[in-house]
Homo-oligomer: A and B are copies of this chain.
């Protein structure tokens, strides 16, 4: 199932709308957001070349320079590439789908859509569990937990930043296992967890902030899908609590249920 609404009568959410002024969002950014979304939704799919800057300016009802600012922002994100004398071309169109299911595995879920996925360890620390982490992991607040900050990539495209918590008592040193294997599943296997299941997922969306902007090369105002997830071992004991921020213009989440 792909994103609907294309070539439909009710396309307000996809087609170029006149940008709003005095909205607190610069027009060039509104245009960048609109183009990014249209590209992900499959517009300009005949060839990879965008209309000329002047044509886009007319379409959005703005000056050519304003469109240029939008194209420059999308160029910095790695979505577009402008070539003098030739035009502006789409560099990255695809939006990966990340399946959420009882058996959710980062690499496996994306394996069919990309060549190489990996989790890069950015930072790790041992800290006392706050009330939320303790609740999710079934520990007492204040118990020592390992916090891992990771950046996940598929085919050299940054997809998500994740914060994970593990009980230090049970998974001491797991940061080394993750660093060596680049995979949570393999790291957990090294600590005696042969199988685990996703028992709970909460999904929110917000603006990207802080280090995430830098790590995923997002521009301010970009959106992240936030999942708050609990993984449990085969006995039902929660082993991992994570807060993952997915770049919303590169990933969509899917949930499949068997009928009846």
Docked-complex contact A1 and B135, CB < 8 angstroms: yes
- Report the separation of the CA atoms of residues A68 and B181 in the bound assembly, to the nearest whole angstrom: 50
Interface centre among A28, A149, A199, by most B CB within 10 Å? A199
Given contacts A4-B228, A223-B205, contact A200 B256 (CB under 8 A): yes
Question: Of the 9-residue stretches A5-13, A56-64, A84-92, A184-192, which lies at the interface with chain B?
Answer: A5-13
A172: Cβ under 8 A from any B Cβ? no
Bound together, the chains give a CA A219 to CA B149 distance in angstroms of 33
Residues of the B chain whose Cβ atoms lie less than 8 Å from the Cβ of A258? 102, 199
Instruction: Please indicate the chain B residues that have their CB under 8 angstroms from the CB of A212 in the complex.
Output: 13
Residue numbers in B under 8 Å from A49 (CB-CB): none
Q: Which of B17, B125, B132, B210 contacts A13 (CB 8 A)?
A: B210
The answer to whether A255 touches B252 (Cβ under 8 A) is no
* A132: contacting residue among B6, B20, B100, B249, CB under 8 A: B6
- Of chain B, the residue at the smallest CB distance from A9 is B127
> Which of A209, A225, A258 has the most chain B CB atoms inside 10 A of its CB?
A209
Shortest CB distance A99–B (Å): 10
User: Quick one: given A73-B24, A221-B23, are A1 and B259 in contact (CB under 8 Å)?
Assistant: no
**Residues of chain B contacted by A23 (CB below 8 angstroms):** 29, 219-221
Known contacts A255-B100, A257-B198, A259-B199: A220-B4 contact under CB 8 Å = no
Pick from B12, B205, B230, B236: contact of A211, CB under 8 Å = B12
Contact with B along A226-253 (1 / 0, CB 8 A): 0010101010100001010100110011
Assess the B10–A163 pair: CB atoms within 8 A: yes
- Is the beta-carbon distance between A130 and B25 smaller than 8 angstroms? no
* Cβ contact within 8 Å between B255 and A200: yes
Q: Give the shortest distance, in Å, between A101 (CB) and chain B (any CB).
A: 8
CA distance A37 to B58 in the complex (A): 36
Contact between chains at A132 and B2 (CB < 8 Å):
yes
Tell me, rounded to whole Å, the shortest Cβ–Cβ distance linking A26 to chain B: 4
A260, CB-defined interface residue at 8 Å: yes
Expressed in whole angstroms, the Cα–Cα distance for A12 and B201 within the complex equals 22
Q: List 25 A-B contacts (CB under 8 A).
A: A1-B228, A3-B132, A5-B130, A5-B132, A6-B131, A8-B127, A8-B133, A9-B147, A13-B206, A24-B26, A24-B28, A24-B29, A24-B32, A24-B220, A97-B202, A100-B255, A199-B256, A201-B257, A202-B252, A203-B203, A203-B255, A204-B248, A205-B223, A206-B248, A236-B259
